[in-house]
Amino acid sequence: MVLKAKNQKATVLVIDDEQDILDLLSITLKRMDLNCITAATLEDGRNSMSANTIDLCLTDMRLPDGDGLDFVAWMQKDFAHIPVAVITAHGNVKAAVKALKLGAFDFVSKPVDLNWLRKLVETAIKIEAEDLAEENLHDKKGKSILGQSDAINNLKTLIKKVARSQAPVHIRGESGTGKELVARLIHDIGPRADQPFIPVNCGAIPSELMESEFFGHKKGSFTGATSDKLGLFRSAEGGTLLLDEVGDLPLHMQVKLLRVIQEKAVRPVGGTEEISANVRILSATHKDLLEKVKDGSFREDLYYRINVIDINVPPLRDRNDDLFILADHIMQRLATEQGLKLPILSEEAKTKLKHYHFPGNVRELENLLERAIALSDGQQIQSNDLMLREIKTQSNTDASGLHDILNVQEKDLIEKALAKNKYNKTKTAKELGLTLRQLRYKIEKLGL
Ligand SMILES: Nc1ncnc2c1ncn2[C@@H]1O[C@H](COP(=O)(O)OP(=O)(O)OP(=O)(O)O)[C@@H](O)[C@H]1O
Ligand SMILES: [Mg+2]
């Protein structure tokens, strides 16, 4: 039974022009002890929205007087707090993705799987009942996103918004900017908070074990499979899977992952049956995924599936306002942990920090303050205690300088491998662990 706060019955509006579907859905919803209002056109739907207190909307895509997507967009204007989901034709991934981008929180495809629908409705109403609009965002461990800059405030607003949705979110940002923290918050303040949050570093699993790590295996399905294994997807059932460094997934796994996301079901290695999987997919990377799509090492279709909502976590050097808020907080934590008096930063140390460009972002700030406290006299941190890496801070020269160095090395490696393999590209690619397409791209890019 799904109850709203104060034990009132929740009301669901269903918009569809097929009477059969309206009947089926209203019976299902009423059995869940919900009120159900139906509408056969968008206009009916809009009128019902205005005349009733609705807690959740489900709308078909093609209606006599317009498109379900228009309804989703309309809802965002006047009823942005009410969740809306769309009913899509089977396999119409494009439409589903569009709806999620417009603000729908989820979709069901036809023919409607009633179990799936029940879960979707339960989740949506649970969000309604819980007040998510907390001012201070913090995860279960009490960690919060610190900062007052516009960039951080926008980030917090976005996190609250996407926490309600079931859409896949891709989190981009330099190393140490807080991507994992963002992912945890999305999970912890959303309706899946009571279920597992499982982060997995895609770059750390050996390629040949990946399928079994992700999807599990049956006992005896290969040498070493001495018992059944659940796999990451099924361990995250009902919750969230964070695919960290998703750009490192080998191509064969990208294909499999795409299938699982589309079918919402996994097949363990050595198993014959598909097992339905209700897992929200978050992903993160510090690399430029679009660049990887262009050079052929990341599938475009998967890119669009995991990147329905894109969150960019800004580097620390671009939000100077936050630097000392973070530094104060970190020093307080360290002092408490180590039972020390709260240290202070000398004026010179502050100036140095202000002009430092923090290639390792917040994590680097944490590390260097910890070191500085250890090196300091126990009262004041001097600029020498910071031991900053001396890198020129002129705008952008660092990044492009690094690119130049890497390009030269890469060019050298490829040239040598080509010569060794008598300019046979297939052999060269193999030796370098690249696909032929990647090699061609690099040859083109490096002007070889
Ligand atoms: N805005 C913030 N407020 C408070 N702590 C932060 C913030 N951003 C990052 N941190 C802290 O900085 C550290 C690094 O964050 P996190 O591990 O989420 O970074 P990441 O982007 O995933 O890094 P990587 O790319 O190296 O995996 C963590 O201890 C995290 O709690
Ligand atoms: Mg990380």
| Segments of the chain assigned to CATH 3.40.50.300 | 150-313
Ramachandran bin of 432, using left for φ above 0, alpha for ψ from -120 to 50, beta for the remaining angles = alpha
Torsion of CA 8, 12, 13, 18, to 10 degrees: -140
Whether 176 lines ligand 1, by a CB cut-off of 6 Å, is: yes
How far apart are the CA of 366 and the centre of ligand 1, in A?
A: 9
Q: Which of 150, 155, 172, 181 best tests ligand 1's pocket when mutated (most atoms within 8 Å of CB)? A: 181
Here the tokens at position 307 are 């990147």
Neighbours of 22 (CB within 10 A): 18
Considering Cα of 81, then 87, then 91, then 95, what sign does the dihedral take?
negative
In this structure, the residue with its CA closest to atom 13 of ligand 1 is 363
List, in order, residues 6 or more apart from 14 with CB less than 8 Å away. Answer: 22, 25, 26, 29, 36, 37, 38, 39, 57, 58, 59
Q: Domain 150-313 is of which CATH architecture?
A: 3-Layer(aba) Sandwich (3.40)
361 C-beta closer than 6 A to ligand 1: no
Query: Are 226 and 270 within 8 A, CB to CB?
Result: no
**pLDDT per residue rounded down to tens, the chain (448 residues):** 344 444 468 899 999 999 999 999 999 999 998 999 999 999 999 999 988 889 899 999 999 999 999 999 999 887 877 889 999 887 788 888 888 888 888 888 888 889 889 988 987 877 665 543 344 577 877 788 998 888 898 898 889 889 988 899 999 999 999 999 999 999 999 999 999 999 999 999 999 899 999 999 999 888 888 899 999 999 999 999 999 999 999 999 999 999 999 999 999 999 999 999 999 999 999 998 999 999 999 999 999 999 999 999 999 999 988 999 999 999 999 999 999 899 999 999 999 999 999 999 999 999 999 999 998 988 899 999 998 876 544 444 444 455 566 667 778 888 889 988 988 888 888 888 777 767 776 777 677 7
* Res 210: pLDDT: 94
Per-residue buried b or exposed e for 424-437, using 16+ beta carbons within 10 Å of the residue's own CB: eeeebbeebebeee
Q: What is the per-residue pLDDT for 76?
A: 87
- Distance separating alpha carbons of residues 76 and 411, to the nearest angstrom: 50
Which ligand number lies closest to the CA of residue 200? Answer: 2
Q: Is 181 in the pocket of ligand 1 (CB under 6 A)?
A: yes
User: Which ligand 1 atom sits closest to the C-alpha of 284?
Assistant: 22
Using CA atoms, how far apart are residues 35 and 30, in angstroms rounded to an integer?
6
How far, in Å, from the CA of 63 to the mean position of ligand 2?
Answer: 44
Q: Which two tokens stand for residue 75?
A: 């809802």
From the CB of 147, is ligand 1 less than 6 Å away?
yes
| Count of Cβ atoms closer than 10 Å to residue 49 Cβ | 22
Q: What tokens were used for 73?
A: 């967009």
Q: Assign domain 316-386 one CATH number from 3.40.50.10710, 3.50.50.60, 1.10.8.60, 1.10.3720.10.
A: 1.10.8.60
CA Rg, the chain, in Å? 26
pLDDT of residue 410: 77
Question: Is the minimum distance from the CB of 175 to ligand 1 under 6 angstroms?
Answer: yes
Decide whether any atom of ligand 1 lies within 6 Å of the 180 Cβ. Answer: yes
Amino acid at 274: E
β-bridge pairing 66-67 and 169-173: unpaired
- Rounded distance from Cα 186 to ligand 2 centre (Å): 14
The total of other beta-carbon atoms located within 10 Å of residue 84's CB is 28
CA geometry: angle 94, 95, 100, nearest 5 deg: 100
CATH class for domain 397-445?
mainly alpha
Sorted by sequence, the CB contacts under 8 Å of residue 255 that are 6+ apart come out as 299
* CATH superfamily, region 5-129: Response regulator (3.40.50.2300)
C-alpha of residue 313 to centroid of ligand 1, in Å: 10
The pLDDT, as a whole number, for residue 136 is: 59
Report pLDDT for 4: 44
Kindly give the distance from the C-alpha atom of residue 146 to the centroid of ligand 1, in angstroms, as a whole number. 10
Check if 330 has its Cβ closer than 6 Å to any atom of ligand 1: no
* Predicted local distance difference test score (pLDDT) of residue 2: 41
Q: Which atom of ligand 1 is nearest to the CA of 244?
A: 27
pLDDT score of 301? 95
10 Cβ partners below 8 Å, 6+ apart? 2, 3, 4, 34, 35, 55, 56, 125, 128
Q: What are the residue ranges of CATH 1.10.10 in the chain?
A: 397-445
212 CA → ligand 1 middle, Å: 29
Give distance in angstroms: CA of 360 to centre of ligand 1. 10
The confidence score (pLDDT) of residue 201 equals 96
* Gap from CA of 364 to ligand 1 centroid (Å): 9
CA angle 428, 434, 436 (to 5 degrees): 70
Largest CA distance in the chain: 78
Residue where the block lists tokens 């006992």: 219
CA of 85 to the centre of ligand 2 (A): 31
Strands 240-244, 280-285: pairing kind = parallel
Nearest atom of ligand 1 to the alpha carbon of 183: 18
Q: Where in the chain is the domain with CATH 3.40.50.2300?
A: 5-129
Give residue 128's pLDDT. 61
331 lines ligand 1 (CB under 6 A): no
Q: Is 94 exposed, middle or buried (0-12, 13-18, 19+ CB in 10 A)?
A: exposed
Ligand 1: which atom is nearest the Cα of residue 181? 18
Ligand 1 atom closest to Cα of residue 171: 21
Q: Which residue among 177, 248, 287, 370 is best mutated to probe the pocket of ligand 1, counting the most ligand atoms within 8 A of its Cβ?
A: 177
> 173: Cβ below 6 Å to ligand 1?
yes
Residue nearest to atom 9 of ligand 1 (CA): 178
Task: Answer for the pair 286, 174: CB distance below 8 angstroms, yes or no.
Answer: yes
What count of other Cβ atoms lies within 10 Å of the Cβ of residue 1?
8
pLDDT for position 400: 47
Give yes or no for residue 22 CB within 6 A of ligand 1. no
